[in-house]
Structure 1
């Protein structure tokens, strides 16, 4: 499905079904900027579908990695509470600084890719997420953390 995958590219996030995907791929394991206790990284959000393909720069920092883990926990908790009036919605990384993903946990799941700071374009991708996607996402997060720690993080 995703013909743009680079060999050995590290995927922090892969949200996909049989027809389309939203992937956040690290640009490098080296931080681009360091502040007191925080490292900044370059990545790209890649949307692939039969309708359109595109990518946008997405920057995040070491604190955003923890936020992604907490977001996965919150989604899992929301899935267990079937009587929610509104679908669970969250942004990653925090909106406003860079392009970001908005995750809407409904049926089907919807991932919006927002390029707010630049073009203001939003791409909405409905995804039929299968069983086990949260566990797979946690595995990707752990692998990305390990790679970033090995790359000077």
Structure 2
């Protein structure tokens, strides 16, 4: 653990196969800022592979947690529709504010880490994830929601004050 990561830090996202991974680690479960009921958190996207290893700052807010839950639903739905002409593609958190992840539901999955606001470097990591990765991601999301407060144990049971938009590249039916 680096010296800037607090003891109460946790992993919000972990996508991995046998040789490489991408994770999003909260630097602390305490918000760095709270404004008008929205909490802002510091996190980092971490890429680990035999070829490249790196970490980039990734900030998100409490509304992005709901977006992550909806993105998991959309990916699961896209997986069930095997006749898609184009692979499902979506960003989390929304691109433009901070570094972000781009999910490309293909065979294998490709997750890109974009540092668009700073260096404009993109790292593309193909991942051969098992079938259980969405369920594991939902468990991590529920644990993060519980640790961060926000009043909801599970994004599906929560009634948000407002509906945040889906990530930018999420296709609509």
Calculate the TM-score normalised by the size of structure 2: 0.82
- How many residue pairs match? The answer is 147
Structure 1's 8 and 18: CA in aligned 2 closer, same or farther, altered over 3 A? farther
Find the residue that maps to 2:118 and give its secondary structure.
coil
Runs of 4+ that moved beyond 2 A: 6-9
Question: Could you tell me how far apart the structure 1 residues matched to 2:8 and 2:87 are?
Answer: 35
Question: Could you tell me how far apart the structure 2 residues matched to 1:32 and 1:71 are?
Answer: 24
Question: Could you tell me how far apart the structure 2 residues matched to 1:11 and 1:89 are?
Answer: 23
Question: Could you tell me how far apart the structure 2 residues matched to 1:24 and 1:54 are?
Answer: 12
CA shift, 1:131, in A, is 1.5
Question: Could you tell me how far apart the structure 1 residues matched to 2:17 and 2:8 are?
Answer: 22
Find the residue that maps to 1:144 and give its secondary structure.
helix
CA shift, 1:8, in A, is 6.1
CA shift, 1:90, in A, is 0.2
Structure 2, gaps ≥5 residues long: 151-173
Q: Provide, for residues 62-119 of structure 1, a one-character-per-residue CA deviation record: whole Å limited to 9, x for no partner.
A: 0000000000000000000000010000000000000000000000000000000000
Question: Could you tell me how far apart the structure 2 residues matched to 1:40 and 1:106 are?
Answer: 31
Find the residue that maps to 2:54 and give its secondary structure.
strand
| Equivalent residue, structure 2, for 1:130 | 130
Which 10-residue stretch deviates more, 28-37 or 117-126?
Answer: 28-37
Question: Could you tell me how far apart the structure 1 residues matched to 2:73 and 2:101 are?
Answer: 17
Question: Could you tell me how far apart the structure 1 residues matched to 2:19 and 2:96 are?
Answer: 29
Structure 1's 91 and 36: CA in aligned 2 closer, same or farther, altered over 3 A? same
